[in-house]
């Protein structure tokens, strides 16, 4: 064995190093300086020639630790911190800072609605007001305001305009100052005059002195007429009514929306029944042969010649003519009329016409039913009339004293 040499193992990679080395010859780390003979005993005596040793020496190849894992963990932690800080900052910004609201574009030549609540889809440049709420100049005979208006169908409205004299046109002029686009209203026949037949009752509307509308003659049999007029550029609007008690102009409104639907305070017509079968007295007639309506509804006891008793019934209003009333059932769904014709046991007078009951269809008065003449000894006559294709029908009673119509029903 050759002369032993002193040296030391690297504490990092366990490689052997000469005593003269200050850094490991394999991993390059600094070697600790420990004096000879200390308790750590870093120095060892080894054979000079490993080949002379009886035990083979297996060289140890040092593995230097890879520093990348600790750098990767540090990078991940840094990214997480940045994300957390950013999220907290964004949340604080959303809570404390409100972005400005962009301005809403306004249509040309318009201002915000004075009555807009954000619910109605229509945009008005002025409130939708009843025309009767406006002031203005009055020319001629001023129109008057009526409350609790009823048309000849007995539809009810909150208010309406009427004339003051029947023989002339009554007018009122309103200053609207080119503020509106449309004028809507409804022309109706007054319920109390639903049987009147005056030859010259109408409504006219003037825009800056020029006539822009004239209604049909408003008299018995007149159906309510809805009207919408274009009043763009109009400074003065005038309404004329010829007829004192016959005509009402209801729900007059000025507005600026092309999609505006007909304004109405109308309470629906009582003919629109949910029942399948109702007494004829439930219906409102819309036309009649006289101011009394043509027929009278009797609510006292009625007896026929055989002594049968009936609670209610109808008779004519004049003994010397055909008395009639007309009903409009176009929106009711009724399709059948039934009744019983009897001889009145207590006539109280003499008719000068032959008493009969008749039913006619529509405006052309096609006969649907006509009873036999009712005289003493006449049998009771029951009838059933189909109204399947009759939007209107007329019920007629000729005479007043001898004849009665009882148990009259209309059904679906």
Tens of pLDDT, residue by residue over 84-140, are 777 777 666 656 554 444 334 334 443 333 333 333 343 334 444 555 545 455 555
Residues 10, 1: contact at Cβ < 8 Å?
no
Task: Provide mean pLDDT across the span 26-31.
Answer: 76
Which pTM value belongs to this model?
0.52
The 10s digit of each residue's pLDDT in 289-306 is 887 778 999 988 899 988
At 146-169, the pLDDT tens digits run 888 888 888 888 888 888 877 788
pLDDT for the residue 64? 54
Answer yes or no: CATH 3.40.50.720 is held by domain 277-411.
no
Strands 225-230 and 302-303, bridge-based pairing: unpaired
Could you give the CA distance from residue 282 to residue 409 in angstroms, rounded to a whole number? 9
- Residue 223 near residue 188, CB atoms below 8 Å: no
Q: Between 81 and 277, whose confidence is greater?
A: 277
Class of domain 129-255: mainly beta
- CA-CA-CA-CA dihedral for 76, 77, 80, 82, to nearest 10: -110
339-378: string of b/e by CB count within 10 Å (b at 16+)? Answer: bbbbbbeebeeebebebbbbbbbeeeeeebbebeebeeeb
Start-to-end C-alpha separation, the chain: 134
Question: How many other C-beta atoms are found inside a 10 Å radius of the C-beta of residue 35?
Answer: 8
Of 353-357, 373-377, 394-398, the least confident = 373-377
pLDDT of residue 360: 95
Task: Read off the tokens for 2.
Answer: 């050759």
**Which helix (H) or strand (E) segment is 410 a member of?**
strand 403-411
240 exposed, middle or buried (CB, 10 Å; 0-12, 13-18, 19+)?
buried
Structure tokens at 384: 């059933």
What is the reported pLDDT for 268?
Answer: 63
Instruction: Compute the radius of gyration of the chain from its Cα atoms.
Output: 53
pLDDT of 53 > 50? The answer is no
Q: What is the spatial distance between Cα 196 and Cα 219, in angstroms, rounded to a whole number?
A: 6
Q: How does pLDDT run across 3-15, given as a tens digit for each residue?
A: 345 677 777 777 7
Residue length, the chain?
412
Question: Which pLDDT value is given to residue 126?
Answer: 41
Q: Note whether 129-255 and 277-411 share their fold.
A: yes
Q: Does residue 361 or residue 43 have the better pLDDT?
A: 361
Q: Where are the domains of the chain?
A: 1-105, 129-255, 277-411
């Amino acid at each position: 064995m050759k002369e032993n040499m002193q040296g030391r193992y690297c504490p990092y990679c366990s490689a052997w190093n000469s005593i003269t080395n200050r850094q490991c010859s394999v991993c390059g780390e600094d070697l600790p300086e420990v004096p000879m003979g200390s308790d750590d005993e870093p120095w060892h005596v080894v054979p000079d020639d490993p080949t002379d040793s009886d035990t083979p020496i297996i060289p140890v190849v040092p593995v230097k630790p890879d520093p990348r894992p600790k750098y990767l963990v540090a990078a991940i932690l840094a990214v997480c911190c940045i994300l957390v800080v950013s999220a907290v900052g964004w949340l604080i910004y959303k809570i404390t800072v409100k972005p400005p609201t962009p301005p809403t574009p306004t249509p040309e030549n318009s201002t915000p609605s004075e009555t807009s609540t954000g619910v109605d889809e229509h945009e008005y440049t002025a409130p939708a007001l009843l025309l009767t709420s406006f002031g203005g100049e009055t020319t001629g005979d001023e129109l008057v305001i009526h409350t609790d208006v009823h048309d000849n169908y007995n539809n009810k409205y909150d208010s309406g305009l009427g004339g003051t004299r029947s023989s002339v046109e009554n007018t009122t002029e309103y200053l609207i100052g080119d503020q509106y686009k449309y004028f809507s209203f409804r022309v109706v026949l007054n319920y109390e005059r639903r049987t009147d037949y005056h030859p010259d009752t109408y409504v006219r509307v003037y825009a800056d002195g020029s006539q822009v509308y004239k209604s049909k003659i408003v008299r018995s049999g007149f159906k309510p007429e809805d009207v919408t007029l274009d009043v763009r550029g109009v400074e003065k609007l005038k309404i004329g009514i010829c007829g004192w008690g016959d005509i009402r102009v209801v729900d007059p409104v000025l507005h600026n929306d092309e999609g505006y639907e007909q304004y109405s305070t109308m309470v629906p017509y009582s003919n629109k029944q949910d029942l399948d079968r109702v007494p004829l007295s439930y219906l409102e007639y819309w036309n009649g042969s006289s101011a009394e309506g043509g027929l009278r509804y009797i609510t006292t006891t009625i007896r026929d010649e055989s002594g049968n008793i009936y609670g209610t019934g109808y008779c004519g209003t004049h003994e010397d003519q055909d008395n009639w009333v007309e009903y409009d059932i176009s929106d009711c769904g009724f399709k059948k009329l039934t009744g019983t014709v009897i001889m009145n046991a207590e006539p109280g007078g003499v008719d000068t016409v032959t008493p009969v009951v008749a039913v006619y269809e529509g405006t052309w008065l096609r006969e649907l039913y006509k009873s036999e003449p009712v005289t003493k000894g006449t049998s009771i006559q029951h009838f059933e009339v189909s109204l399947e294709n009759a939007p209107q029908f007329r019920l007629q009673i000729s005479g007043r004293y001898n004849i009665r119509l009882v148990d009259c029903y209309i059904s679906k």
